[in-house]
Amino acid sequence: MLEEFVLPEVLEQQAEVSYLASNHADSCFPRLASLLKSEGRFDANKKQIPWADKIQIPIDMEKLSRCIQVVAAFNRTVETSYRTSAYGIIKDLIMATVDVLNDRERQEPRWLTPAHAKRLLEHQNIENVLEDIGYPLAHNSLNSRLANFVRQDATRLFLMLIYVDKLAMLEEFYDQGIGDSIFPLKVKLCRTHAIIEGRKPAKLEFATQMKFEEADILFNYQQWIFFVPKLTWATSDDALLHPRCRLPFLGHAKIVGHTNLSTIFSTIIHRDYVTIDVDGIETQTDSEGNPFVTVHELLPSALKMDEVYDSFVKSQYLAFDMLRGFETRHLLKAAAFYRKDKNAYFIFPSPQYGSLRGLWSRGLPQIYHQGYMNWVFDQLLGLAGTIEVLHHASNSRMYYHSDLHPRNIFCFRSKTSPEAVKDHTSCILVTSAASISRLTGGWDLLHFEKTRPLTKALSYAPPETEFFPGMEPPHCYDIWPLGCLYLEFVIWLLHGHQGLVLFVREVNGRFYTTQHPYGLSPSSSTAILNPGVNNWIENIIKKDPRCTPIGTKETAMFRLINLIKERLLVTAIEPNPRDPISMNRYASGFADAERCERAFAPEVRHTLAGIIQDVKNGTIDWINFDQTAANSAPCLEVEPVTGRTTLSVKRTHGAE
């Protein structure tokens, strides 16, 4: 029976090993099966452990660690010189572990994490293992120094060298200070020997002990079981990973979006292999602290030639690298960059609360709550400030967002108020940087035309995309979608998600329409504000008792809707964004309202900041809290013939 061969600290795990050996080990744990069955300790046709059917498969890494301890304890009792040696025990333990890590169906780590490596060595006598290969035990001996090196700096290196039967080389790694932190390594062929290079300035030369063929197998194949690269914001030249390396992702990636030039995945990355450094926001993690991330894969197949793809990747990298230095917490910045095979990947953190569009569909606005309205306007101000930062980069280059939309604005929890109620008022709205690029340059024009999501969602595209196709986008390009976003936000605040549904249905796809003067050529067409959009602004929002001024006292909502209508959703566009007069006005930060031009970002931010300050000063209120307005219940109705939405204000009981 197994009991007599099990150490006391793992006695409770005996059922797991017997069940694995008799039922699943042949397919999932071949090394475990061979160890146990070779000694005749189990009969697969007999149920030796009555509670074995309660054990759940597949087994996780922590449970595997406990099971392997049982096997190691079992091996200590086998009467062969190999199995009774400390080296033999740990070798069998490692071989069994690798069998599991090589299972391609696993959704858990398929490499040996630092934490698991330490667990594997918890009950092992490293000094005895080293003694088995010729390092005698003695006080302050090389044996003890190597053992300390293993425990402190080289746990996985120690296990890897045992796995490939090269533990005698541990001393060379120790002499040159090459431990786990320098891995993974790469091997180079020299005339007489192999040179192994790490990420840090260190070289390890093996002139006699390791042939190049052995080094090639170890460092091009087997090291990836024990070491995976940490994904960082590497330089463009250093980001290329080995084609056979395993990546530190957990589980299967899920496609969440794609454009003509990229595919976007959602997945989880192991916490030890990435650093998510964000400005005042928390990232979404699983129960073990592993962050959720989105991975943007740039597709080389979309660009016909390798050199074209490489130029595009470099352009994107330089843009994202610059954005990482921008001081705004409303801009989501790339956390890591790597290249593998021919593809390039950018990694971004994932939010706790999803997108703004999702918040609108799930959440209920609290328009009568002062703190809530303050949060709303703070977020609108932050988004305007982000666009201003992009348009006025300190390096004298202009960046544009090109895809400002509720699906690309995410709700992250703030780090600054941990004691706050964890609802969406403790969130920060952060716009994705995935579509941002520099305003000038051929690759940015390609980016402008190719990176829009392939979706049928309500279009925020401004009129210039239709009237001047293929032209470099003007500096006011982002202001139009900002106005679209603000308008939908106002509608949601006043009428909830159902109001947005009615609005989208009425405007039928976009915020402007094309006007063709009778008798003139199509080239004489002009863009005008969509009549449905105008209807909602003039006949629904401005006539809502909660927004309309009372006497001389305005509301913040009324000022906001005027800003949207008069300065953001302006269809007049300049065909030449580099017109000197236009650029002079741009330098001053404001457009010319007399010419009915779209506002620039500084004007939007300045106006919103003024609205917020006036509320704080008591000059205006967020909304109309007058008793008449409070007793009025605005209701949306749809005309059956025209499909036009109208506002019906019904007086509640007690109103005059």
Q: What is the DSSP string of 625-636?
A: --HHHHTEEEEE
Q: pLDDT at position 579, please?
A: 40
- 316-364 pLDDT, tens digit each: 888 888 888 887 888 888 899 999 988 899 999 988 888 899 999 988 8
Q: DSSP code of 260?
A: S
Which residues are paired to 240 by β-bridges?
A: 339
Going by C-alpha positions, the residue among 474, 481, 648, 479 that lies closest to residue 574 is 474
Q: pLDDT at position 455, please?
A: 46
Strand (E) positions, 102-232?
Answer: 186-189, 194-197, 203-206
Which range (11-20, 75-84, 338-347, 644-653) has the least confidence? Answer: 11-20
Q: Say how many CA atoms lie within 13 Å of 77 toward its Cβ.
A: 14
Is the predicted pLDDT of residue 563 greater than 70, yes or no? yes
Is the predicted pLDDT of residue 494 greater than 90, yes or no? yes
> Is-contact 105 251, C-beta < 8 A?
no
Three-state SS sequence of 353-412:
CCEHHHHHHHCCCCCCCHHHHHHHHHHHHHHHHHHHHHHCCCCCCCEECCCCCHHHEEEE
Higher pLDDT, 599 or 29: 599
Tokens of 131: 């003694």
Is the predicted pLDDT of residue 626 greater than 50, yes or no? yes
Helices marked H in 164-263: 170-175, 212-217, 223-226
Q: What is the mean pLDDT of residues 418-445?
A: 63
β-strands 249-258, 281-282 pairing: unpaired
β-strands 240-241, 336-340 pairing: parallel
Higher pLDDT, 27 or 132: 132
- 70-83 pLDDT, tens digit each: 454 444 444 344 44
Tokens of 545: 């008792």
Q: pLDDT at position 301, please?
A: 67
Q: Is residue 587 within a helix (H) or strand (E), and if so which, with residue range? A: helix 580-588
Which range (177-181, 191-195, 303-307, 442-446) has the least confidence? Answer: 442-446
Q: How far is CA 122 from its chain centroid?
A: 35
Q: Say how many CA atoms lie within 13 Å of 83 toward its Cβ.
A: 14
Q: What is the mean pLDDT of residues 467-490?
A: 84
Q: pLDDT at position 425, please?
A: 78
- 258-303 pLDDT, tens digit each: 777 788 899 999 998 998 877 777 888 888 889 999 999 987 765 6
For the entire predicted model, the pTM comes to 0.76
Is the predicted pLDDT of residue 593 greater than 50, yes or no? no
β-strands 645-651, 632-638 pairing: antiparallel
Q: pLDDT at position 522, please?
A: 56
Q: pLDDT at position 177, please?
A: 87
Q: What is the mean pLDDT of residues 431-436?
A: 72
- 404-431 pLDDT, tens digit each: 889 889 998 887 655 555 566 788 999 8
Average pLDDT of the chain? 75
- 91-130 pLDDT, tens digit each: 888 888 888 888 766 666 788 888 888 888 887 888 889 9
Going by C-alpha positions, the residue among 564, 542, 565, 540 that lies closest to residue 554 is 542
Tokens of 8: 């006391």
Domains identified in the chain and CATH numbers? 84-225 (no CATH), 245-349 (3.30.200.20), 354-433+454-575+596-628 (1.10.510.10)
Q: What is the mean pLDDT of residues 307-324?
A: 82
Is the predicted pLDDT of residue 571 greater than 80, yes or no? yes
CA–CA separation, 498 and 506 (whole Å): 13
pLDDT band (50, 70, 90) for residue 458: low
Q: pLDDT at position 48, please?
A: 38
CA–CA separation, 569 and 462 (whole Å): 9
Is the predicted pLDDT of residue 190 greater than 90, yes or no? no
Long-range Cβ contacts of 315-321 (<8 Å, 24+ apart): 315/437, 315/438, 315/441, 315/443, 315/444, 315/447, 316/344, 316/346, 316/437, 316/447, 317/236, 317/344, 318/236, 318/438, 319/399, 319/436, 319/437, 319/438, 320/346, 320/433, 320/436, 321/233
